[in-house]
């Protein structure tokens, strides 16, 4: 039915490294399609992308998601540095493109398409790792900070300065997409979270991101973007709540206020606790934070119950595991004895939330593998010893993949040598 995975990877690489603007754009559009086709159920692709998925679409999308994960991983091996560098320059340095293309609108277009492709590819942790490595192992932190500042600053500036009409037209590209990049990188990279913490020394998370969630601002966006923005920020909140390296810091830096703003922005949404919605992600974050003593202590100190009481209606969930989350949190924080009917179901809930996050799973690179995504906890997949990018669930699959992978793998090593 469709072309072989290897061919796809090679075709994408050719398009994405092309000097011809049209071909490059085509490459970006194909990546976008490969990443989000499962949500192309409605007719307005541009705006329906990244809208919350219903459960059935997630299931339908799994196979496709694995395929995309494989394409992204192999693309990162094969011509990874050239592709990523190109996208990178496009997404981060619009000015230099102005010289190349001569006119501003082509340069802006180049930025937008690059940014879309980065937003898709950065859902893969493997790609992000490759990317930060590519941009300099030694300067990884500096690069991570640059990435954070650029995407964040871009979204903020667009939100602040664009006139309402332009914002309606470009909201997805100028605000939602850069925010998605921030959320993706935070999920995928410890170095990025570190950079984020440094950058945020002066300003709280709420000061940085709260304004994107205000009703006033969201009313300026088309409905698709107005839904995506809280979704991406709930991704970011969930990542911070689940990362042991950042959760305490995030709590001190206004994570709860940011989550409250997400609840507020989703207050009218009917899909209360449904899998994959911003509310679901905030609920999962709360549940996770309520499960270890130091974070519970912090929640008490921050008066979490008062912060979230206005959104109690959103937090009381009966699906999918029959736990009343509000009751549980309240009891935990007030040191009442808690009986969460089955704690294991809570654990399942947080795990499934992690899985349903916006990240593309890490998968075994062998295209016929049925092992599914790398487990969130436990044994990790092995990396290819040469490129350190391809992943394998077993030796057998590594051997099977080597037949085709060796071409890509060697190309990658040659590139690395050339660029160093
Ligand atoms: Zn390899
Ligand atoms: Zn496998």
pLDDT at 162: 78
- Point out the ligand nearest to the CA of residue 406: 1
pLDDT at 39: 45
pLDDT at 243: 93
- Ligand 1 mean position, distance from CA 349 (Å): 35
Instruction: Going from the first residue of the chain to its last (420 residues), give the mean pLDDT of each consecutive group of 10, the final group possibly shorter.
Output: 80 92 91 71 38 42 84 91 81 62 71 89 90 71 84 89 81 89 92 90 93 92 88 94 95 97 80 69 89 94 96 73 78 79 59 67 92 82 93 96 92 68
Residues 6+ apart with CB under 8 A from 176: 50, 155, 221, 225, 228, 229, 232
Residues measured by CB to lie within 5 Å of ligand 1, the ion: 384, 386-387, 390, 409
CA angle 87, 36, 349 (to 5 degrees): 110
- Ligand 2 mean position, distance from CA 383 (Å): 12
pLDDT at 12: 95
CA angle 40, 153, 260 (to 5 degrees): 70
pLDDT in tens, 268-314: 655 555 667 888 889 889 988 988 899 999 999 999 999 999 998 88
- Point out the ligand nearest to the CA of residue 383: 1
- Ligand 1 mean position, distance from CA 321 (Å): 41
312, 306 contact by CB (below 8 A): no
Q: How many CB atoms lie within 10 A of CB 98?
A: 16
- Ligand 2 mean position, distance from CA 232 (Å): 30
- Point out the ligand nearest to the CA of residue 73: 1
pLDDT at 156: 92
Q: CA 397, 398, 403, 405: dihedral to nearest 10 degrees?
A: 120
pLDDT at 98: 55
- Point out the ligand nearest to the CA of residue 365: 2
Please state whether beta strands 391-392 and 382-383 pair in parallel, antiparallel, or not at all (unpaired).
antiparallel
pLDDT at 45: 40
- Ligand 1 mean position, distance from CA 153 (Å): 36
89, 19 contact by CB (below 8 A): no
């Amino acid at each position: 039915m469709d072309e072989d995975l290897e061919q796809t990877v090679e075709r994408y690489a050719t398009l994405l490294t092309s000097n011809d603007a049209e071909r490059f754009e085509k490459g970006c559009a194909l990546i976008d399609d490969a990443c989000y086709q499962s949500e192309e159920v409605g007719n307005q692709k541009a705006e329906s992308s990244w809208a919350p998925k219903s459960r059935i679409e997630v299931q339908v999308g799994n196979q496709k998601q694995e395929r995309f994960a494989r394409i992204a991983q192999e693309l990162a091996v094969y011509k990874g540095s050239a592709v990523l560098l190109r996208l990178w320059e496009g997404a981060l340095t619009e000015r230099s493109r102005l010289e190349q293309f001569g006119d501003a609108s082509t340069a802006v277009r180049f930025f937008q398409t690059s940014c879309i492709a980065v937003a898709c590819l950065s859902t893969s942790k493997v790609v992000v790792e490759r990317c930060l490595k590519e941009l300099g192992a030694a300067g990884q932190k500096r690069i991570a900070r640059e990435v954070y500042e650029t995407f964040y600053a871009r979204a903020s500036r667009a939100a602040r300065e664009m006139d309402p009409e332009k914002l309606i037209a470009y909201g997805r590209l100028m605000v939602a997409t850069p925010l998605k990049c921030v959320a993706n990188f935070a999920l995928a990279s410890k170095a990025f979270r570190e950079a984020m913490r440094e950058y945020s020394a002066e300003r709280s998370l709420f000061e940085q991101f709260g304004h994107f969630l205000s009703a006033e601002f969201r009313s300026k966006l088309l409905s698709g973007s107005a839904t995506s923005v809280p979704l991406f920020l709930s991704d970011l909140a969930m990542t911070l709540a689940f990362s042991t390296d950042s959760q305490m810091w995030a709590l001190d830096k206004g994570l709860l206020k940011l989550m409250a703003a997400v609840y507020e922005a989703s207050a009218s949404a009917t899909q209360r606790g449904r899998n994959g919605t911003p509310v679901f992600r905030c609920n999962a974050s709360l549940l996770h934070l309520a499960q270890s003593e130091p974070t519970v202590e912090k929640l008490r100190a921050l008066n979490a119950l008062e912060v979230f009481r206005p959104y109690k209606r959103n937090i009381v969930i009966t699906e999918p595991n029959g736990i009343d989350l509000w009751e549980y949190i309240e009891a935990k924080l007030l040191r009442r004895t808690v009986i969460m009917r089955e704690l294991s179901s809570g654990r399942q809930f947080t795990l499934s939330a992690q899985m349903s996050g916006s990240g593309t799973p890490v998968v075994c690179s062998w295209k016929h593998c049925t092992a599914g995504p790398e487990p969130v906890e436990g044994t990790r997949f092995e990396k290819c010893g040469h490129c350190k990018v391809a992943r394998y669930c077993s030796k057998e699959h590594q051997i099977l993949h080597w037949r085709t992978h060796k071409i890509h793998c060697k190309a990658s090593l040659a590139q690395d040598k050339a660029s160093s």
